[in-house]
Structure 1
Amino acid sequence: MRSPDTRRYPRPEWLQGVGMTSQRTRDRMVERLARQGIADHRVLEVMAGEPRHLFLDEALAHRAYEDTSLPIGHGQTLSQPWIVARMTELLREQAPTRVLEIGTGSGYQTLVLARVVTELWSVERINALHRRAGERLRLLGAHNARLRLADGGHGWPEAAPFDAILLTACASTLPEPLLAQLADGGVLIAPLAEQDGTQRLVRVRREGTRFETQRLETVRFVPLLEGVIR
């Protein structure tokens, strides 16, 4: 596969990475994602151009482009590259303009979303992660991403309705406020726990007062929790 053109993402040398964090390593990650079925060239281009290693502690940076999730502290993880790409690809199928992300986490998924949508709102419940993500996103110029420290289950009501909502933690049931904040015709992409304890990615589409759910791949996410940790 031909690697995406990353010249549109000029970076200082210290941001580009070296060795296991280099552009060559990102290109290999993108080639793997394509083999795994990610077909959206814009998603692949963005992930080839953005320094995922900056969203991890320095001790783990050399593992940033492996096909695995990695810890970011506070019991949270940075999702594996494939799930970031897959959820972004599913969201882009709707061509959304206004998007809400629940669970900013490290900020990497937020950055990828910010590169492919016009307006992005992202909510995080853990203050240390919220602040760190904000610093990284400002450094990388993701100026269309608005961040808030809050309980994600409540969404961002004053900015609603949203064309799409992306939930990056697993819920046992989808929070009603999030469904209410979907625009008519909008979609919610989320991991959802099933009765046997497995998790499955779902796509929920709003049609007036009806919500149609499509079950997709099995996945593994940290649980969606309530409350704010300051």
Structure 2
Amino acid sequence: SKKVLQGLDLMPASMTCGDGHLGLLERGPFGGIIAAACAKKLPKAWKKQLAEQGVIVAPIGTITGQHLFRWQKQQGKLSRKKVMGVRFVPLVRA
């Protein structure tokens, strides 16, 4: 994984295995959060752990309909933009 991230010039970055709904409070705030599984709604922990000017890219929806969204935090508020329809595995609780 690290080699792929380095090849994409996305270092320093990290990947963690755990309950994604909870985020990583001890390591935030984050300048960017990218989700590889679909939540029914944006987890509250992610909103709290996003740094000012930070970006979240995540699929939101259900098994019958999902969209990729991009959020950006500006002056403490999140703005949301719908990017495209997608199909991801569900984000499940650990």
> What is the TM-score when the length of structure 2 is the normalising length?
0.87
What displacement does 1:220 show?
A: 0.5
**Which protein has the bigger helix share?**
1
> Residues 58-94 of structure 1, C-alpha deviation per residue, up to 9 Å, x if partnerless?
xxxxxxxxxxxxxxxxxxxxxxxxxxxxxxxxxxxxx
Mapped partners of 1:213, 1:225: distance in 2:
23
Alpha-carbon contact 1:123-1:151 (below 8 Å) kept = no
Instruction: Tell me the equivalent position of 2:79.
Output: 212
Unaligned runs of 5+ in 1: 1-106, 125-149
Mapped partners of 2:22, 2:6: distance in 1:
21
Aligned 1:9-20 pairs, distance under 5 A? none
Q: How many residues align?
A: 93
Mapped partners of 1:215, 1:158: distance in 2:
29
Note the aligned Cα RMSD (angstroms): 1.9
Alpha-carbon contact 1:168-1:190 (below 8 Å) kept = yes
Unaligned runs of 5+ in 2: none
Cα 1:202–1:117 change in 2 (3 A) is same
Alpha-carbon contact 1:123-1:155 (below 8 Å) kept = no
Structure 1's consecutive aligned runs of 4 or more residues displaced over 6 angstroms after TM superposition are none
What displacement does 1:154 show?
A: 1.3
- Structure with the bigger RCO (C-alpha within 8 Å, sep 6+) is 2
> What is the TM-score when the length of structure 1 is the normalising length?
0.38
The 3-state SS of whatever aligns with 1:123 is coil
**Which protein has the bigger strand share?**
2
Alpha-carbon contact 1:171-1:224 (below 8 Å) kept = yes
Larger Rg: 1 or 2?
1
Name the % identity: 32
The 3-state SS of whatever aligns with 2:79 is strand
Instruction: Tell me the equivalent position of 2:38.
Output: 170
What displacement does 1:159 show?
A: 1.4
